């Protein structure tokens, strides 16, 4: 019998009516003759609300207790969904992460799945139960509850699909699939019928919010084909897989990331070892650096600019302050920036993509502060105030309205 893993995000189970809607989708899949394992996130803003509750008591909650707290959100949604499935006449059983066999490392708040012991799951599937599993959580070797990091339920679903060798893994959300740009902001955005893992990974990392990037990494590693679709409309979604049948598209999507900050160090000595000293200091504290730009040396000095996520910016500046080689130099930090990216596997063989993007920005009189490219993406850093206009202009350039 085919086995289908279906994942529903927080907005898809936000209230009783939505839970009932999900139960309808799940039970229909079950009645059509499939074994069904469902992964759900916490209802609506529950996880944020729990974080707020902790913040009312302490600025430094122990991470173990934070995981214990946040895992409660998913416990609510799985039990409610199992009840709703039973109400519709299909037997369902809910399992917390540990009951479903999710073994993780003990990095509380950012745990990695090490393995899934599927015995209990297999038993429940064999009993012809719909199995409803709490996403985003597992258990570590100390028998403590762990969580996988925000948006982690996608990863739970992909991991389950891989462990159970599911025939399909469907990720239900509140948009109809993966679009060429955020459909809520860009009216001309088009739904893609297919996209490769690599393209999806870039889009997810660069700011598209439809799939968590770790889940895409895992899907690629274990060859789990994903379907992203809406729980609210009954339409085909987007398939994420290794190779798409479609011709390589020059540009598959345009994204905006408003979480960046640009840090610049002005007038560093133009001698070997400076970049090493700066970036090893940041790496030692796990601060991820994205775009790096170094000016040509002049009069024995040069400037180095780079971007980090906004949340890391204060710590990065503090660390630079501790470097003797930067003593007395000006370090600036600009958080009013945004990163706009175009992604597409076809640009590998199309040299004109960058200039087409730059032309669209020029036509809008938008200044480019930094540029970074890889085989399948081009990112530019611009002032944040122009970000939405930039996405619209770049999108128009690559996807002209018919
Ligand atoms: N409930 C968790 C969060 O909001 C996990 C998830 O939604 O995937 O981050
Ligand atoms: Mg959530």
Q: In this structure, what CATH number is given to the domain that contains residue 136?
A: 3.40.1160.10
In a domain, 193, yes or no: no
148 Cα nearest atom in ligand 1: 5
Q: Give the count of beta carbons closer than 10 Å to the beta carbon of residue 350.
A: 13
151 Cα nearest atom in ligand 1: 8
With a Cβ cut-off of 6 Å, ligand 1 is lined by 9-10, 41-42, 47, 73, 135-136, 150-153
In a domain, 154, yes or no: yes
H or E, element range at 354 = helix 353-363
In a domain, 179, yes or no: no
The answer to whether 3 and 158 are in contact (CB under 8 A) is no
How many helices (H) does the chain have, and how many strands (E)? 11, 20
In a domain, 24, yes or no: yes
Question: 362: which 2 tokens?
Answer: 């020029």
The answer to whether 334 and 255 are in contact (CB under 8 A) is no
Q: Which residues pair with residue 308 across a beta bridge?
A: 261
Q: How far is the CA of 149 from the centre of ligand 1 (A)?
A: 8
Against a cut of 0.75, is the pTM above it?
yes
**pLDDT (tens place) for every residue of the chain, 402 residues total:** 999 999 999 999 999 999 999 999 999 999 999 999 999 999 999 999 999 999 999 999 999 999 999 999 999 999 999 999 999 999 999 999 999 999 999 999 999 999 999 999 999 999 999 999 999 999 999 999 999 999 999 999 999 999 999 999 999 998 899 999 998 899 899 999 999 999 999 998 887 788 999 999 999 999 999 999 999 998 999 999 998 776 666 899 999 999 999 999 999 999 999 999 999 999 999 899 999 999 998 899 999 999 999 999 999 999 999 999 999 999 999 999 999 999 998 888 788 899 999 999 999 999 999 999 998 999 999 999 999 999 999 999 999 886
- Ligand 1, atom 9, lies closest to the CA of 150
| Total domains, the chain | 1
- Ligand 1, atom 8, lies closest to the CA of 151
Q: How far is the CA of 110 from the centre of ligand 1 (A)?
A: 12
User: Looking at residue 247, what is its pLDDT?
Assistant: 65
- Ligand 1, atom 7, lies closest to the CA of 151
In a domain, 139, yes or no: yes
Q: Give residue 16's Cα distance to chain centre.
A: 27
- Ligand 1, atom 6, lies closest to the CA of 151
How, if at all, do strands 370-374 and 377-383 pair?
antiparallel
Spatial CA neighbour of 47 closest among 66, 31, 60, 65: 66
Q: How far is the CA of 47 from the centre of ligand 1 (A)?
A: 7
Residue-range definition of the domain harbouring residue 103? 3-173
- Ligand 1, atom 5, lies closest to the CA of 151
154 Cα nearest atom in ligand 1: 8
Choose which residue among 14, 38, 42, 216 to substitute to test ligand 1 binding: the one with the highest number of ligand atoms within 8 A of its C-beta: 42
Q: How far is the CA of 42 from the centre of ligand 2 (A)?
A: 5
């Amino acid at each position: 019998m085919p086995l289908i893993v279906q994942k529903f995000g927080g907005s898809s189970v936000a209230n009783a009516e939505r839970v009932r809607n999900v139960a309808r989708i799940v039970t229909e899949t079950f009645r059509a003759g499939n074994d069904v394992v469902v992964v759900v996130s916490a209802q609506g803003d529950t996880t944020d609300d729990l974080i707020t509750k902790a913040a009312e008591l302490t600025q430094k909650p122990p991470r173990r207790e934070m995981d214990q707290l946040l895992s409660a959100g998913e416990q609510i949604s799985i039990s409610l969904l199992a009840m709703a499935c039973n109400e519709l006449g299909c037997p369902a059983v809910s399992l917390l992460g540990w009951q479903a066999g999710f073994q993780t490392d003990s990095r509380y708040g950012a745990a990695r799945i090490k393995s899934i012991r599927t015995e209990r799951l297999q038993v429940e599937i064999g009993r012809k139960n719909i199995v409803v599993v709490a996403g985003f959580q597992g258990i570590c070797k100390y028998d403590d509850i762990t969580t996988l990091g925000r948006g982690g339920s996608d990863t739970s679903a992909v991991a389950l699909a891989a462990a159970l060798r599911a025939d399909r893994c469907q990720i239900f959300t509140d948009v109809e699939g993966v679009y060429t740009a955020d459909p809520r902001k860009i009216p001309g955005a088009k739904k893609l019928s297919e996209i490769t893992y690599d393209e999806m990974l870039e889009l997810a990392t660069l700011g598209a919010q439809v799939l968590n990037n770790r889940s895409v990494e895992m899907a690629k590693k274990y060859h789990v084909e994903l379907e992203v679709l809406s729980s609210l409309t009954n339409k085909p979604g987007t398939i994420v897989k290794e190779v798409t049948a479609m011709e390589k598209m020059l540009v598959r999507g345009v994204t905006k990331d408003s979480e960046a900050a640009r840090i610049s160090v002005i007038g560093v000595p133009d001698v070997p070892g400076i970049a090493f000293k700066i970036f090893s200091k940041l790496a030692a504290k796990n601060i991820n650096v994205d775009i790096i730009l170094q000016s040509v040396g002049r009069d024995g000095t040069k400037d180095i600019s780079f971007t980090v996520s906004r949340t890391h910016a204060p710590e990065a500046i503090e660390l630079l302050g501790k470097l003797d080689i930067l003593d007395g130099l000006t370090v600036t930090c600009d958080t009013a920036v945004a990163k706009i990216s175009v992604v597409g596997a076809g640009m590998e063989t199309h040299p004109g993509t960058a200039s087409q993007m730059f032309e669209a920005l020029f036509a809008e009189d938008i200044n480019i502060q930094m540029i970074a490219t890889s085989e399948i993406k081009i990112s530019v850093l611009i002032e944040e105030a122009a970000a939405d206009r930039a996405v619209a202009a770049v999108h128009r350039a690559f996807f002209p309205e018919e």
